[in-house]
Structure 1
């Protein structure tokens, strides 16, 4: 689990392409501290497993499903990526619950300055927007952000200078594609409220129990 508080911005050092997969080698410093092979690091919001460690970088495999559902397929050597190690049990919960399993991608429609803040308006498909609520949380490229406004086809976030300067948001432009992970709590609530199909329902009320209590 992650919190959406980016620890550093790394750079893609090398990309090894498979038939339907990739191996990314990412230059970093902070996230390498105390990291072991098999640990999880979120790269632009996507939970990847460290497969190799080097003095100034780490490697991770990216499978076909991840390439299809995220923006990682568009990375190039030199691309700047947001990095966060999995949350430590004794760490501060500074953002929100981020699983590192992106729901899909969005496209930046507009970037506007508002005094010291920067507004990003991001287009998203209806299947993602249904979980986006004003004043709720959303992870954009792994960054925990607060939703400031929602429309029928987009949402907006207002970011402070610190967030922009300490993440890859400072290099984002109109029409860039970003990874989106909506609040996991909303998805669980929706699932729990869905009716259970009749064939899957299990009841403790049986014919034998009714007879035992005098219902014949």
Structure 2
């Protein structure tokens, strides 16, 4: 389990095909030296298994499902990725429950400073930002105002949801902007979206409650005088 509190960014060194999978190499001093082969970690919100770890680099294999449903397959060497190690039992839950099971890749549709860039008071280091993300259709039903969402593995709070849930707006603090990969993502870039698992569970329970408690069949109708 993760919390969506990004520890640092790493740099994608390579993405190469090896048999039936694609292997990424990530430069991540500060995290790589804390891992062993087989450890889990979140790479831009995707739970992966670390391979061939050394003090500076780690590798991870991407399955076809990962390539199809996340932004990782679209990365190029030099891309920045958000990194988080699993949360140890008993540790404070700084963000929200993030599983690393991405629902799908959305799209960055806007990332604008609250203060206009031509304003004399504008300072990229201190301004807030408004992030807008187009949400993949499968996750739209789980987007709720003031609810949690993980974008690129970052625990964030949804400020606004458009009428059909296709786009969400999120307030980004200066620290989040500078310490994650958000500042490096161009408009139109894919972004991993993971809905809050608690919202998913509540939605599933509501769907179960709406189901009839029995199957309405012809034999049941005859037996009950209809």
TM-score, scaled relative to structure 2: 0.83
Counterpart-to-counterpart distance in 2, 1:169 and 1:120 = 9
- Superposed displacement of residue 92, structure 1: 2.0
Please, which runs of 5 or more residues in structure 1 have no aligned partner? 200-216
Matched with 1:106 is: 106
- Map 1:74-153 onto structure 2 (within 5 A): 74-115=74-115, 116-151=127-162, 152=164, 153=166
Structure 1 pair 198–65 and aligned structure 2 pair: CA distance change class (3 A) = farther
Q: Which moved more, 1:63-72 or 1:21-30?
A: 21-30
Q: Deviations over 1:72-130 (max 9, x none)?
A: 11011111100000111132211000000000011111221113210011111343111
Counterpart-to-counterpart distance in 2, 1:170 and 1:16 = 26
Contact in 1 for aligned 2:142/2:203 (Cα 8 Å): no
TM-score, scaled relative to structure 1: 0.87
- Superposed displacement of residue 179, structure 1: 0.4
SS of 2:204's partner is helix
- Superposed displacement of residue 196, structure 1: 8.0
Report the count of equivalent residues.
Answer: 199
Contact in 1 for aligned 2:33/2:55 (Cα 8 Å): no
Counterpart-to-counterpart distance in 2, 1:197 and 1:57 = 54
SS of 1:53's partner is coil
Counterpart-to-counterpart distance in 1, 2:14 and 2:212 = 47
Matched with 2:42 is: 42
- Map 1:57-72 onto structure 2 (within 5 A): 57-72=57-72
Q: Deviations over 1:51-76 (max 9, x none)?
A: 21122111111101110001111011
